[in-house]
Amino acid sequence: MKKIMLICSAGMSTSLLVTKMEKAAAEQGIEVEIWAVGTAGFKNELEKPDVILLGPQVRFMKDEVSSLVKDKPVAVIDMKAYGKVDGAGVLKQALEL
């Protein structure tokens, strides 16, 4: 099971995206655990995920997060996919990492 963590400003703007990603995974028969956290609490979660995606609004944190999790892929969610709340597209991006 892949574990995907999304980081955004408060952890709330990605909630709908998490739901859409979970739906897309279920439709494709992919077992995943996906959750969102805010910038204030993300450091407490770094041991759990296999992949970390950052919301476009916190893209400036990519280097910091990458340095804290040297062995895990970290990427910024595609801005178009984020804006369209494209759960399938963001899930695909996460799985390709």
Active-site residue (options: 4, 5, 8, 52): 8
75: left (phi over 0), alpha (psi -120 to 50) or beta: beta
Are residues 87 and 60 in contact, defined by beta-carbon separation less than 8 angstroms?
no
The span from the CA of 85 to the CA of 83, in Å, is 5
Q: Is 8 a catalytic residue?
A: yes
The span from the CA of 56 to the CA of 44, in Å, is 21
Which residue has 């709330």 as its token pair?
12
Catalytic residues: 8
